[in-house]
Amino acid sequence: MRVILLAVVYIPFIMAVERVPLIRFKSIKKQLKEKGELEEFWRNHHPDVFARRYLHCFPADIALSVGTAAERLYDYMNAQYYGVVSVGTPPQRFTVVFDTGSSNFWVPSAYCISEACRVHQKFKSFKSDSYEHGGEAFSLQYGSGQLLGIAGKDTLQISNISIKGQDFGESVFEPGATFVLAHFDGILGLGYPSLAVANALPVFDSIMNQNLIEEPIFSFYLKRGDDTENGGELILGGIDHSLYKGSIHWVPVTEKSYWQIHMNNIKIQGRVAFCSHGCEAIVDSGTSLIAGPSSQIRRLQGYIGASPSNTGENILNWKGPTRIIKSNSWANGLYRDQNYNHGVISITMF
């Protein structure tokens, strides 16, 4: 299966299209499952347990709230694609997940004290001639892990695009095992500015503001199969029309934070089973999951004959390629609308 995901923002540009190769890797969740360690991981990383264990590590004004830690919708336990970027002058290389489900860009700091940072590339601000110290502390909370960092600015290089003064975070504390197991160093968010913390301007907004691409579009080509080194590509500034078949259909963005769209309904074997009066969904390149409200997901699992496992998941013995689930208005498109721009996300699967 090949998947095309694209986002468009309408502003006239005159520069080039840039391609960022993506590498496909085995997700953290799959690694843990194969080792028989997933159940223990979930016990140790439940939001309440996690907050109690690491509460003392965070400053009081940004500490985790015990018992009320909200899980964000994006979860890098299931991320499967990353690419390479560089930060600083001279450039320092990092692998990142390009994530439409968040808006901040961060990489590990040379001053990080966590195990996760020890096993990943770390940014050395003292070796960059273009680094600007921001000084503001921030905390990012994910479904399966939290981190603490310091804000700064520096030159970001993506393919042949050089972004001056890009806001980014240097993580100094990454508790838990989530990022220890990750194949990637950091996260590069492609969501709306309203989703960003520490008043950071997202990377793609900086690219648009600096007129660095031919068209205000970014698109993903995600490949499946055994060729992990050639996992696809992120295209900045255009669309490769040879990578998909048929037409692109556009669906309006309903809230300017995530790439959020409206779904008309969800059908199973031709009948509406969920979302009968319409519901909201987000298009998230940072995860491989289809997520939803717990009660409805349990009903869905019952419909398709999935059985609960001791890891908290439900397992389906798949015996063929039969397609039984259809979500109207989910398959193609997302439209971005802001005071200064418009945009679109489209997904085509074949």
What's the pLDDT at 7?
56
Give per-residue burial for 193-212: e unless 16+ CB within 10 Å, then b. Answer: eebbbbebbbbbbbbbeeeb
Which CATH superfamily does the domain covering 245-349 fall into?
Acid Proteases (2.40.70.10)
For the chain, the domains span 16-215, 245-349
CA angle 153, 159, 163 (to 5 degrees): 25
Query: 16-215, what's its fold?
Result: Cathepsin D, subunit A; domain 1 (2.40.70)
* Cβ contact 266:292 at 8 Å: no
16-215 with 245-349: one CATH topology? yes
- CA–CA gap between residue 348 and residue 247 (Å, rounded): 9
284 is catalytic: yes
**Among candidates 272, 269, 287, which has minimal Cα distance to 329?**
272
Run means of pLDDT, 10 residues per run, the chain, 350 residues = 52 62 75 66 52 47 37 47 93 94 94 90 97 89 72 96 97 80 89 92 96 88 70 89 87 89 90 91 80 82 77 62 42 31 32
* Cβ contact 251:8 at 8 Å: no
What's the pLDDT at 286?
78
Spot the catalytic one: 99, 167, 185, 205.
Answer: 99
Q: What's the per-residue H, E or C state across the chain?
A: CEEEEEEEECCCCCCCCEEEEEEECCCHHHHHHHHCCHHHHHHHCCHHHHHHHHHHHCCHHHCCCCCCCCCCCCCHHHCCEEEEEEECCCCEEEEEEEECCCCCEEEEECCCCCHHHHCCCCECHHHCCCCEEEEEEEEEEECCEEEEEEEEEEEEEECCEEEEEEEEEEEEECCCCCCCCCCCCEEEECCCHHHCCCCCCCHHHHHHHCCCCCCCEEEEEEECCCCCCCCEEEEECCCCHHHCCCCCCCCEEEEECCEEEEECEEEECCEEEECCCCEEEECCCCCCCCCCCHHHHHHHHHHHCCEECCCCCEECCCCCCCCCEEEECCCCCEEEECCCCEEEEEEEEC
What's the pLDDT at 190?
94
* Cβ contact 165:77 at 8 Å: no
What's the pLDDT at 89?
97
What's the pLDDT at 77?
56
Beta bridge mates, 96: 83, 186
Spot the catalytic one: 75, 167, 185, 284.
Answer: 284
CA 195 distance to own-chain centroid: 12
Q: Please give the backbone phi and psi of residue 247, each rounded to the nearest 5 degrees, phi first.
A: -105, 155
99 is catalytic: yes
